[in-house]
Amino acid sequence: MKTPLVVGSTDQHMKASNVEDVKRLIKGQIDLAKNIGCNTLVMLGDFWDSRASQKLSVLMGFRDVCDMLEESGLFTYWIHGNHCLPRYDSPISYLTPFRGLFPNIMFIDEYTELECCGLDIAFMPFQTEEMMIETLEQSNGADILFSHFE
């Protein structure tokens, strides 16, 4: 069997009532990646459920997830979805304050092209449809595009 280059997930929708469930899901993603020899994870948005604000228990659950990812030794690319934004047109997300705090997690707030696993990969966090079209028209292109669509 070929080893997958990345193991991705999306739409965890963490809220106060499901923090432990989401942590179990992420642990399962980590375990799967390690068991198959994959060292890269991709989180594709909507980790949060609420667009209005995040409760302390949810923020602590997020911190626990980031700590699990760091301890795993896997590298994680993480983009935001529409539920991670306070407004659809917001240039920052609920992930933004955590940028740079975890060496093995790259929080991506804007269209980004980079080399990963020997391929040119683009990451495009959620944007309005008009913004997505404009972004893609101005991009260099890539072998793979990871994004979050409403």
Q: pLDDT tens digits for the chain (150 residues)? A: 788 899 999 999 999 999 999 999 999 999 999 999 999 999 999 999 998 889 999 999 999 999 999 999 999 999 999 999 988 888 889 999 999 999 999 999 999 999 987 899 999 999 888 888 888 888 888 999 999 987
Backbone angles phi, psi at 116, to 5 degrees: -150, 130
Q: What is the torsional sign of CA 33, 44, 108, 24?
A: negative
119: β partners: 116
Alpha-carbon gap, residue 6 to 85, rounded angstroms: 25
CB 83 within 8 A of CB 54: no
42: β partners: 8, 77
Backbone angles phi, psi at 122, to 5 degrees: -110, 140
Q: What is the pTM of this model?
A: 0.93
